[in-house]
Amino acid sequence: MAKIKIENIVASTSFGSELDLEAIALALTEAKYDPKHFPGLIYRLKEPKTATLLFRSGKVICTGAKSLGQVKLAISNVAKKIEKIGIKIEKDPEIEVQNIVASSDLEMKINLNAIAISLSLKRIEYEPEQFPGLIYRLDDPKVVLLLFGSGKLVCTGARKPQDVERAVEKVTEELTQAGLLG
């Protein structure tokens, strides 16, 4: 099976109550808050390297993590910093993965024109003049794969790492059965 590398996980949660973003921005010097340009506060962590968006409603979005463990650690670190400045938040909020972006390599060049002709046209978009990759939408798991002639691919829309693995296995199997791989 092809090696899969998670590039980015976007996850959300809620700290359970309204947040005073001005107070947080003043207390956390690294935070960026400019409500004229964006309604959320942006807080970047160096370890794990992530960006956390905090909204007045208490909603939190974490992006940039490369594993579910990093997502949990980043949100926990931000929560501790907010609690230290005296803002009460929900303990151990439920975290929901919104999107996983991962890459993989089939380790051989592939003919995108042949794939576009051979596989289900309802699920494929391929316009090489517009974009060099073939867009392949899977129903199960519900993800989008971007296939490139080099054999590299990007998977987006997954909610679990296992979805990425299943999608790569499925496309590898379909291409092999169609005589387009190996």
Q: Using one digit for the tens of pLDDT, what is the confidence trace for 138-169?
A: 999 999 999 999 999 999 999 999 999 999 99
Q: Using one digit for the tens of pLDDT, what is the confidence trace for 95-116?
A: 999 999 999 999 999 999 999 9
Are residue 14 and residue 91 in the same domain, yes or no? yes
Are residue 28 and residue 74 in the same domain, yes or no? yes
Final residue of a domain: which of 46, 68, 97?
97
162 Cβ neighbours under 8 A, 6+ residues apart: none
Asked if residue 2 is part of any domain, the answer here is no
CA distance 119 to 92: 45
Are residue 16 and residue 91 in the same domain, yes or no? yes
**Inter-residue long-range contacts of 111-114, CB under 8 Å, 24+ positions, other chains counted:** 111/149, 111/180, 112/147, 112/148, 112/149, 114/180
47: left (phi over 0), alpha (psi -120 to 50) or beta: beta
pTM: predicted TM-score of the whole model, two decimal places: 0.91
The total domain count for the chain is 2
Could you list the residue range(s) of the whole structural domain that residue 93 is in?
9-97
Are residue 123 and residue 46 in the same domain, yes or no? no
**Mean of pLDDT over the chain:** 94
∠ CA 135-136-140 to the nearest 5 degrees?
Answer: 150
Closest CA relative to residue 3, chosen from 143, 149, 153: 153
pLDDT at 1: 64
The pair of structure tokens assigned to 33 is: 């808050």
Q: 119 near 113, Cβ under 8 Å?
A: no
146: which DSSP letter? E
Asked if residue 77 is part of any domain, the answer here is yes
Percent of the chain with pLDDT strictly greater than 70: 98
Q: Residue 70 pLDDT more than 80? A: yes
